[in-house]
Structure formats: structure tokens, C-alpha cells
Amino acid sequence: MPESLVDTHVHLYATAYDADRDAVVARAAEAGVTQLILPAVDIASIHASLALAERHLGVFVMAGLHPTYLAEEAADAFDQIEPLLHKPSIVAIGETGLDYYWSTDHVDLQQDSLRAHARLAAIYDLPLVLHNRDKQGREDCSRDLVRILRDVKSEGLGPLTGVFHCFGGPEWLAADVLDLGFHVGLGGTLTFKNAGVADAIDGIPLDRIVLETDGPYLAPTPHRGTRNEPAYVPLVAQRLAEVRGLTVDEVARVTTATARRLFKLPEG
């Protein structure tokens, strides 16, 4: 029996899965991907994820507002999160973070939201899941993320750890991720030629890495360009094993143990 895997980031409530969601979960289990963590993007997606966690064993939920959804959400959206945190299927705060790729119109809103999410994560001792996407050739998001996380850590509200999901550098960021006590989430982009992800994770120990798909987006090679799904996590594990000169089983064992420890998931 091969090691089981965790998809630490899949938008299972996305309409892309409406036609065959149960089959997607079944295929994941067949591929050994027995636990799925669903990042929220808005309030509706938190509730959709909670419903999926009721329906499927091994499905867990994050609560948070995605940086690119903030401007569309109700003014009190953030305040709706804290009352949900007692629910046992909620294992993280996210996905929050910064995204200057699509627009820099709401930078202040994004930074305030990130700070508020980080404080909530510290106070409730929940891992924080971060989205980080810059304009081509820029590193502003990464710099602002690190600065805000250091600020919140220095407030001493509680422990603060989490994941830089879909990690892809810049290369200097790896040292800050480690210094902050955070982890990186790796998915399909690790399998893309010329994406530079293997170089960006060079100094990151295996026990600071968790696996993800970010489905329905960013399907790994050879499915690139099609709908992604949790059953493809083994392809990411395979690529990581190649990059590190390890067996797939070693990668699976360590990344699964890290994910379970970080998100406080049950065994299998």
C-alpha cells in the first residue's frame, strides 16, 4: 500500500466540478489522495466547503477571503468568519495574501485584509494559507507579504505559521519563508518546464513542503491546460522526487506527515 497523500489546496466547490464532483473525490481516493483541504475565496465558498466536508470523509475547510474577491464582498464579510471557526472541519485561515497581478487598485484593502487574517490565525492557532502573485518581473507582493507577516508576528498574539501556496519564488523568498516558520505548497507549476520552481525551492527542506493541486487550475504535466483535480497530486510528488533524488514514497511520507501536523488532520 503506497503512502497516502494530501491535497492541501483544491477549490472543490468550483463550478468546474459541478458535473462530476463525487467522481473527482472518488478518483482522488483511488490515487491515494485521501485528504483534501478546500481554500475559501469568499463567504459563499466557506459555506459550500462546509457542506462538502459534511458529505465527504477526508474533506477539510479553510475560512478566508481571497485578495482578488475583496472588492466584491459585503463590507462585513470578514466579520462573518470568526463565528465559524469553532466548526471542527475548519483547519486553516485562507486563502488570503496579495495579488497585484490582476489589479493594484485595491492594494490597501488587500494589505488590511491580510493583516486581519494573519491576526485571526495567530489568535486561533490556525495555519494561514497565502496567495502571492505579482505582476511579471515585479516582487512587490512578496516583499509586502513578508513585511506584514513579520509585523503581525511581532504583535505576539499567538503562534503564526502556514503555507505560501503555489510557491514560485522569487528565489530570495525561500529564506524568509523558512525564517518566518512557514511552509511552501507545491503543485502543477513544479512540473512546468521553464517555470523555475525547482530552483526557487532549492534551499527548502522536504519537511517544509506540502503538496497541492490548486484545482481546477494549473494542472500538472501531462495534463497541462486541462481541468486539474486532486487525483493528480501523485504527479507533483513524482516530480518532487525527481528534483530531490528521492523515492515517491519518501516524498509522500514526509509531505503527508507535514500536512497532517500543520493542519492538525487525523491520520488517514
Q: Establish if 183 lies at the interface with Zn ion (CB under 5 A).
A: no
Shortest Å distance, C-beta 256 to Zn ion: 20
> 211: helix, coil or strand?
strand
Supply the DSSP string of 24-84, one letter for each residue. HHHHHHHTTEEEEEE--SSHHHHHHHHHHHHHSTTEEEEE---TTTGGGS-TTTGGGTGGG
Contact 258, 209 (CB under 8 A): yes
Q: Which is nearer to Zn ion, 44 or 247 (CB)?
A: 44
Q: Which is nearer to Zn ion, 94 or 234 (CB)?
A: 94
Q: Which is nearer to Zn ion, 58 or 99 (CB)?
A: 99
Q: Establish if 117 lies at the interface with Zn ion (CB under 5 A).
A: no
> 87: helix, coil or strand?
coil
Q: Which is nearer to Zn ion, 131 or 183 (CB)?
A: 131
Shortest Å distance, C-beta 169 to Zn ion: 15
> 240: helix, coil or strand?
helix
The stretch among 34-42, 48-56, 77-85, 229-237 that binds Zn ion (CB under 5 A) is 34-42
Closest CB to Zn ion belongs to which residue? 131
Name the β-bridge partners of 96. Answer: 130
Q: How many residues bind Zn ion (CB under 5 A)?
A: 2
Between strands 162-164 and 128-133, the pairing is: parallel
Of residues 126-145, which lie at the interface with Zn ion (CB under 5 A)?
Answer: 131
Q: Establish if 39 lies at the interface with Zn ion (CB under 5 A).
A: yes
Residues that bind Zn ion (CB under 5 A): 39, 131
